[in-house]
Amino acid sequence: MQVNQPKGGTAEATTTALAVGDKVSYVAISGGGKEYLLSARTGVIEAIDGSVATLRTARGRSITKPLGKLTPEGQPNALTRMLMEGHS
């Protein structure tokens, strides 16, 4: 599940349940040594086993990701939130 905590105030976090067939985004990290590349990627959930989802990526590969690392389509993903917080 993805938990969204509103900025400021005393409102409780809202939880968006993810299900098979949902389009999601996630952050992929590649590289190593002195340089790393962060990129936002998309996929469709094919299966959920406990707290891990199997995704079909835009390139047709099948990968697994923890549910907590996935963001529903249409919501800012972790990379976008990180960049936006730097400009607040």
Look at residue 17 in the predicted model and tell me its pLDDT: 85
Cα angle value 63/2/61 (rounded, 5°): 15
pTM above 0.75, yes or no: no
CATH 3.30.60 fits 19-75, yes or no: no
Q: Measure the CA–CA gap between 74 and 12, rounded to whole angstroms.
A: 21
Look at residue 35 in the predicted model and tell me its pLDDT: 93
Look at residue 13 in the predicted model and tell me its pLDDT: 45
Mind listing the pLDDT tens digit for each residue in 69-88?
Answer: 999 988 888 888 878 876 65
DSSP 9: S
Task: Tell the burial category of 54 from Cβ atoms under 10 Å away from its Cβ (0-12, 13-18, 19+).
Answer: middle
Cα angle value 63/23/61 (rounded, 5°): 25
Measured in whole angstroms, how far is the alpha carbon of residue 34 from the centre of its chain? 25
In the chain, domain spans:
19-75
Mind listing the pLDDT tens digit for each residue in 45-72?
Answer: 999 999 999 999 999 999 999 999 999 9
